[in-house]
Amino acid sequence: MTANLTRIDGVPNSEDVNTARGMAHFPGTGPAGKTCGSCAHRGYSRQGQREYYDQKTDSFFRKFYHYCGCEMFKALTGKHGPVISRGNLACKYFENDVRR
Going 7 to 10 to 11 to 13, the CA torsion angle's sign is positive
pTM of the model: 0.69
Judge whether 67 and 5 are in contact, CB under 8 Å. Answer: no
Q: 3-state class of 57 per DSSP?
A: coil
Q: Are 35 and 88 in contact (CB under 8 A)?
A: yes
- Residues 87, 26, 80, 63: is their CA dihedral positive or negative? positive
**pLDDT tens digits, one per residue of 43-89:** 998 888 889 998 999 999 888 988 999 999 999 999 999 999 999 99
